[in-house]
Structure 1
Amino acid sequence: MDFTMGDAAAGLRDELRALIAERMPPDFRGAFTDNPEDLEAAQEFCRFLADRGLLCLAWPVEFGGRGASVWEQTVVREEMWAHHEPRGAQYMGVNWVGPTIMRHGTREQQQQHLPPIARGEVIWCQGFSEPGSGSDLASLRTAARREGDGWSISGQKIWTSYATMAQWCFLLARTSTAERKQQGLTVFLVPMSDPAIEVRPISSMLGPHHLNEVFFNELKVSQDHVLGVVDEGWAVVQEVLSFERVGIARYARCEFLLQRAPSVLGDRWEELPVGLRERWARELVRCRRARLLAYRVVSTQAEGRVRPGDSALYRIAVTTLDQSSADVLAEIAAYLPADDEQASTYRDDVADHWRYSQAATVSSGSIEMQRILLARDLVAS
């Protein structure tokens, strides 16, 4: 397996790294901090990437992309995640909201939503999880009922990232009762500016914007806000989750931090216990394994197929890697000199990675649910 993807990919990586170094603040560790300048830096960088045709590289030209391969988009995804995701919340719109609208949206929906995403001008949030319906998403209770030619939506969502800043929400609601809970669900594209939507932030160690409660109080929408076929939203969501889970290339950040450790420690590297260095090496192997599993999913998506089992297997590998690599890196960071600027920066990077890793096996579908999906897929095949 050629993990470099060839000379063209290497050139693209070099270009992206140079742009990040040139245009992002040296202490940038994500867009969703207490400092509003971090979000603005990310939004500005998105617009810059869009102007250069690098934000939605693999999108069709007609939708604002360059028609590049999914492998080139994978390079972009990896370099962004390795460097604290300087696109901010845009990965959601780029990786799965946009492609899902391409596959299931009307021409009018495509014309309305795709150009702003491609220009890096709009932020989306995802209205999926609810109190009591997190891992078991199909048991959700947010309901949309017919009202004239449109719909009235009421209910509550929770753990909704970016809800305080998003302009649009990709919302899943129940539109009818059925024998199976996966039936009777519909996707709506709703504007977050509507006064019938209330957002309440949830404080956490991840910082502002990441976790929120969202309440829908008789939100009125028209049929034009429905994505796909009424009552058949579950099939859309299965595609969404497959795109979403491979779109978060956390393995790239794990590998980037692990590879930096020997150079940051310098002569102190040899002072590390042999067992700790062996664990470090094993984590690098796990990074390559997670990368390979991600590439399997990318390959099937490029062929127009989505296999939930492959996405689940990748998600299991990358979330457990997130946590095991964070533990090893935290132990290595204890050997860093206290009065060295490079070491201090690296220590902060490791701490940031460790904080985010704690929720890795719960967010975007718990690891238990991923194992169930994988088991079902194996039985079906």
Structure 2
Amino acid sequence: MDFGMGRAAEALRSELRQLVTDHLPAGFLGAFTDDPDDLATAQRFCGVLADRGLLCPAWPSELGGRGASVWEQTVVREEMWAHHEPRGAQYMGVNWVGPTIMRHGTPAQQGEHLPPIASGEVIWCQGFSEPDAGSDLASLRMEARADGDGWRLRGQKIWTSYATMAQWCFLLARTSRGEKRQQGLTVFLTPMTTTGIEVRPIRSLMGPHHLNEVFFDDVRVGPENVLGEVGDGWRIVQEVLAFERVGIARYARCERLLQEAPLVLGPAWDALPADLQARWARMLVHCRRARLLAYQVVSGQDSGRVKPVDSAAYRIAVTRLDQESAEVLREISASAPATDEGRWFAVEVEDHWRYSQASTVASGSVEIQRVLLARALLAAS
């Protein structure tokens, strides 16, 4: 099975790895640690990528990219996730906020939002889940009430990543009620500095910055903040979730850590139990399976056919891989030598394990993805 993308892609991988080596400090575990310098490092690194057209390489050059293929964008995505996502929260704007605004935004919205995303200057958060509307997103109650030519937002969002640092929120609210719950939903591009917005952090295993409650108390937005048509939010969000789920290349981090394990352990590798080595090998196979499923979604996006069912299949595979590989790696890391390399490997594995705990819930629970996949398979049978 050939997973290669050609010489240009391999050259791009080499370039990205060199940039990581040159611009990220030793011991970097991502932007969202207790150390505020890590976020600053990520923001600077985004500037380095943007200067080379590598933050959004598949975007048109006039929008800050370099007109590259979606496969080159995939290489960037894989290398960033393999190395603790040094783009920080920018992956959200790059992977799906920007592309969604390209597809559904007005020229004014595109002019306002796309250049700052492409240059790494702005952070977005996502206002979807609510206390009683998580995986069942269509049951959300967040109200957008007509107010002259604009709207008043009232309600609560929860599990909102990066809300403490974001300048904008990609917000889904209910503007009317129809026969189906999916009807009457609208997307609002909402400035987080608007009067009436309150953010309350939620502490978790993943550390600060990740999870928050956001309260909207009679927040006024104008017609220019509506993305697409009023009431067409559900269709837009289905596209968003397809882009988002494939945009998180967790398999790349899993594979890098799995490949490093024998090298770090050295002679101690042969002393590992045979069943643990067999589980390690099985995880490598699952990495390749998840990669192929991701490529199937990317291929569909490249041809303009975004299939939620393909995204669901990928999501199931990659989240299970995330958690199962984390457990295998934890067992392996217990035998890592007491060297600088061995200790760093154990730290990386622990970080991977903590993040994996939420992977089957974030971006839509794996149970909901199974329902979507089952419905599609039954409809096709």
TM-score scaled by structure 2?
0.99
Q: Tell me the CA shift for residue 378 of structure 1.
A: 2.0
Give the SS at the match of 2:67: coil
TM-score scaled by structure 1?
0.99
Counterpart of 2:54 in structure 1 is 54
- Aligned pairs for 1:154-165 within 5 A: 154-165=154-165
Give the SS at the match of 2:203: coil
Tell me the alpha carbon deviations over residues 228-251 of structure 1, each in whole angstroms, 9 at most, x when there is no partner: 010110000000000000000000
1:342 aligns with 2:346: no
Give the residue type in structure 2 aligned to 1:112.
E
Tell me the alpha carbon deviations over residues 289-320 of structure 1, each in whole angstroms, 9 at most, x when there is no partner: 00000000000000011100000000000000
Q: Partners in 2 of 1:48 and 1:143 — Cα distance?
A: 40
Counterpart of 2:19 in structure 1 is 19
Tell me the alpha carbon deviations over residues 65-110 of structure 1, each in whole angstroms, 9 at most, x when there is no partner: 1110000000000000000000000000000000000000000000
Query: Pairwise CA RMSD of aligned residues?
Result: 0.7
Give the SS at the match of 2:216: strand
Q: Tell me the CA shift for residue 31 of structure 1.
A: 0.3
Counterpart of 1:255 in structure 2 is 255
Q: Partners in 2 of 1:177 and 1:92 — Cα distance?
A: 29
- Aligned pairs for 1:204-353 within 5 A: 204-337=204-337, 339-353=338-352
Give the residue type in structure 1 aligned to 2:205.
M
Q: Tell me the CA shift for residue 336 of structure 1.
A: 1.2
Q: Partners in 1 of 2:345 and 2:219 — Cα distance?
A: 46
Q: Partners in 2 of 1:349 and 1:251 — Cα distance?
A: 15
Q: Tell me the CA shift for residue 195 of structure 1.
A: 2.3
Counterpart of 2:192 in structure 1 is 192
Q: Partners in 1 of 2:363 and 2:95 — Cα distance?
A: 14
Q: Partners in 2 of 1:2 and 1:95 — Cα distance?
A: 25
Contact 1:308 1:377 in 2 (8 A): no
Give the SS at the match of 2:180: coil
Give the residue type in structure 1 aligned to 2:369.
Q
Give the residue type in structure 2 aligned to 1:343.
G
Give the residue type in structure 2 aligned to 1:145.
R
Tell me the alpha carbon deviations over residues 11-47 of structure 1, each in whole angstroms, 9 at most, x when there is no partner: 1101100100110011110100100000000000001
Q: Tell me the CA shift for residue 7 of structure 1.
A: 1.1
Q: Partners in 2 of 1:135 and 1:54 — Cα distance?
A: 33
Give the SS at the match of 1:11: helix
Q: Partners in 2 of 1:121 and 1:228 — Cα distance?
A: 24
Q: Tell me the CA shift for residue 132 of structure 1.
A: 1.1
Which ranges of 4 or more aligned residues in structure 1 deviate by more than 6 Å?
none
Counterpart of 2:101 in structure 1 is 101
Contact 1:63 1:118 in 2 (8 A): yes
Aligned pairs, how many?
A: 380
Give the SS at the match of 1:214: strand
Q: Tell me the CA shift for residue 375 of structure 1.
A: 1.5
Tell me the alpha carbon deviations over residues 232-287 of structure 1, each in whole angstroms, 9 at most, x when there is no partner: 10000000000000000000000000000000000000000111001100000000
Q: Which runs of 5+ in 2 are unaligned?
A: none
Q: Tell me the CA shift for residue 376 of structure 1.
A: 2.0
Q: Tell me the CA shift for residue 377 of structure 1.
A: 2.0
Q: Partners in 2 of 1:208 and 1:300 — Cα distance?
A: 35
Q: Which runs of 5+ in 1 are unaligned?
A: none
| Identity among equivalent pairs (%) | 71
1:366 aligns with 2:365: yes
Counterpart of 2:166 in structure 1 is 166
